[in-house]
Amino acid sequence: MQLVMLGTGSPIPDPNRAGAAQAVGVDGRWFLVDAGRGCVMRMAAAALGPAAIERLLLTHLHSDHVTDVNDVVTTRWIQGFPPVPLPVDGPPGTAAFIADTLRMLGTDIGWRIAHHDDLKAGPEVPVAETDGRTGDGLGAVVLDDGVRITAAPTDHRPVHPTLAWRFDADGASVVLGGDSVPCPGLDHLCAGADVYVQTVVRDDLISQVPVPRFVDVLDYHSTVADAARTAARAGVGTLVLNHCVPAPGVDPAGPNGSDEWLALAAEHFDGEVLLPDDGDRIAVRA
């Protein structure tokens, strides 16, 4: 199994980091988790076109995680010979979001059908919604066909509901935590995971900025310490810091450089810690 970090950025535009998006690959099968700003361009750089994606899974519907869904849908449709459906899994509200997206694309879809004789209908985007629960417990399995994909609820309130996703295949496992503070759903999915990817913020830096709207991000994201403690508690092998706010400096050893981020995590977690760039590939091994 491998993980491709297509976009490692945050809502703050960054020339070096695209919006949130990761691809999970298993034996030639590819799954896309979130589709933030610049996702399709980063997929092109990774030689991974939208037509190769088996399904799209969304952690939540915050704009920075879904701005490129329309591009994934359109590009997959017009590059498919013939076009194939794009299954989408996400939290409740996803079906309405996809319907709104297709409605927004309606004029363009009509033009392309009118111009190309082999396009008989618009994109097919079947949606399945889950709250990440099964019965009275956590962890709803949405796929179990050589690759087992499980969702669990996270806590990103007032954004609700939100999900994390776990992939299990070939004896290895990876968890994409999305945006969340520590919560039972993350603990459930991360238990024994080989790789855990978590959105993180630097509370020590953000708290010094006298802008309430910026400081507000602290109450619904994991800090580096939070993510590290979740990883340690769950027995994770590798912790991946992602969607970092503020973006790490370009000099790893400089102020707010990646060395600082990694050191903060190492105070609470003694496993491997990574802070990847866009396009980095991470092998997921048991």
Residue positions annotated with a catalytic role: 64
Q: Which of 129, 40, 27, 35 is nearest to 76 (CA)?
A: 40
Sign of the dihedral defined by the CA atoms of residues 243, 246, 251, 253, in that order:
negative
- DSSP character for 276? P
Residue 268, both tokens: 């609470």
Q: Residue 228: is it exposed, middle or buried by C-beta count within 10 angstroms (0-12/13-18/19+)?
A: buried
How is 25-93 classified by DSSP, letter by letter?
EETTEEEEE---TTHHHHHHHTT--GGGEEEEE-S---HHHHTTHHHHHHHHHHT-SS-----EEESTT
Q: CA 25, 29, 35, 37 torsion: positive or negative?
A: positive
| Dihedral of alpha carbons 98, 70, 112, 110, sign | positive
Burial class (CB in 10 A: 0-12, 13-18, 19+), 52: middle
Distance CA 2, CA 24 (A): 6
Instruction: Please enumerate in sequence order all residues whose Cβ is within 8 A of that of 238, keeping only pairs 6 or more positions apart, or say none.
Output: 194, 195, 196, 271, 272, 273, 274, 282
Which residues, including other chains, have CB under 8 Å from residue 214's CB and lie 6 or more apart?
A: 206
Place of tokens 């363009």: 108
